[in-house]
Amino acid sequence: MDGVSLHRLVIDDEARGLFRVNRRIFTEPEYLEIERRRIFETCWIYAAHESELPRPGDFVSRRVAGRPVIAIRGDDGAVRVLLNTCTHRGALVCREDRGNAKSFQCPYHAWTFSQRGELIGVPGEESYSPAFDRKELTLGQPARVDTYRGFIFINFNRDAGELTDYLAGAKEYLDLVCDQSETGMKVSQGLQAYSIRANWKLLVENSYDGYHAVSAHRRYMRFLEDTGIDIKGSMNPRQEVDLGTGAGKGSRALDLGNGHAVIEYESPWGRPIAYWAPSFGESAKGRIEAARRRLEERFGAERAWRISGTSRNLGIFPNLVVNDIMAVTIRTFFPLTPDYLEVNAWSLAPANEHPQDAALRHDNFLTFLGPGGFATPDDIEMLETCQRGFANHEVEWSDISRGMKSAHPLMSDELQMRAFWRRWNELMTGSHARGSQCAA
């Protein structure tokens, strides 16, 4: 039990409709250490997107779950993930964020490694004994690497289940994102990188919290109203939307299994995929209507409407968020301390997107979701003030009970957060559900 009590951290009373989380898990470092071992070291973690590696030798290097790694496409076309640490004395063998390389040379003693991680150069190798074996000193790799629809995941646990099983119901929502384009999706150039002085699990909650938008993002709501968008008529979170026909405006929340969850809703601001909005300009109308017709030809009217007419905030346990709203945003984050985390976010777009649509999408990626946009500064302020509020240890519990007795939970309810917390509690306490796809 690691010397720390892991029981009664979550109250999950279905009969009474009561769900609470103990605030110690947001503030005490002992819990973060256990999270690193039991969650981040055992679950599938998003690392990169295949579109970032279009040519042989293309690579990106970044920290994934706190580990420095390199994702690279080899000369054979295969995508690999290498652990970015020299097997000689430990220095990073790659210090660039991205580029194209035939090999990686450690700056410390010039050991050189191939795209596959093989040790191919050792200065002064004649000074070593016959016991020295290059094959024993290849760059390390995560235990498991797999992809789904271009999303590259890694797992440090050899006994983990298959990625497709782990993703469970989240696959459907990644499909809705990826099916926007006949030619595939690509990560746009540029990265949003920022930090928050709060616990990482608060950002999980916030990323698909539909309850806070009207109160926390008032500036943006006023901005939409000034542009002529009917917020009151479109942003009614208590009205359920018929996602089969598109009738009505509203939302739903779903538990997708294995800690993944989503909120899905019809948004008022429009998206430059297949449904035209006045803010896109008259010149875009014909092109967007043609895109809608192509979607309907590929998937039928019902699925085409879900792809292009609804928005979704998808959380993939533990730390991947795909927000398919005004722009498609891939967001990952990792805690350095109980009250400090680092966030990275990228924009995902159709590979063949019209330049005007790309400009609209990029503007939305910055204007609403950017670190200096309408929403993200509000969210950061709210999470940091929550963290400061946790200093009042006398208040032990956070309540996440909203909508718990509802037969049809909506985006303003908190089913999606409860899905995360139930999986978190299972992994932390070792009470794994039958068929679980993470290992302790």
pLDDT category at 432 given cuts 50, 70, 90 is low
Greater confidence (247 vs 299) lies with 299
The model carries a pTM of 0.91
pLDDT in tens, 393-411: 999 999 999 999 999 999 8
Is pLDDT of 248 > 60? no
Is the CA virtual torsion 367, 371, 376, 377 positive or negative? negative
Torsional class of 183: left (φ above 0), alpha (ψ -120 to 50), beta (otherwise): alpha
pLDDT at res. 230: 56
In the chain, the domains with their CATH numbers are 59-141 (2.102.10.10), 188-429 (3.90.380.10)
Q: What percent of the chain has pLDDT over 70?
A: 88
Of 272 and 189, more confident: 189
- Average pLDDT over the chain reads 89
Sorting pLDDT into bands at 50, 70 and 90, what band is 235?
very low
Average pLDDT (253-270) is 88
Cα 256 to Cα 168: distance, rounded to the nearest angstrom: 7
pLDDT at position 6, please? Answer: 84
Name the residue with tokens 């008032």.
218
Say if residue 434's pLDDT is above 50: no
Give the lowest-confidence range in 202-206, 220-224, 349-353.
220-224
Q: What is the pLDDT of residue 363?
A: 84
Mean pLDDT of 89-112: 98
How many Å apart are CA 142 and CA 29, to the nearest integer? 26
User: Does residue 179 have a pLDDT over 90?
Assistant: yes
Residue 21 pLDDT > 70: yes
The mean pLDDT of 129-149, rounded to a whole number, is 97
Average pLDDT of span 355-367: 84
Asked if the model's pLDDT at residue 20 lies above 50, the reply is yes
As a whole number, mean pLDDT of residues 313-331 equals: 94
Angle (nearest 5°) at CA 413 between 264 and 329: 40
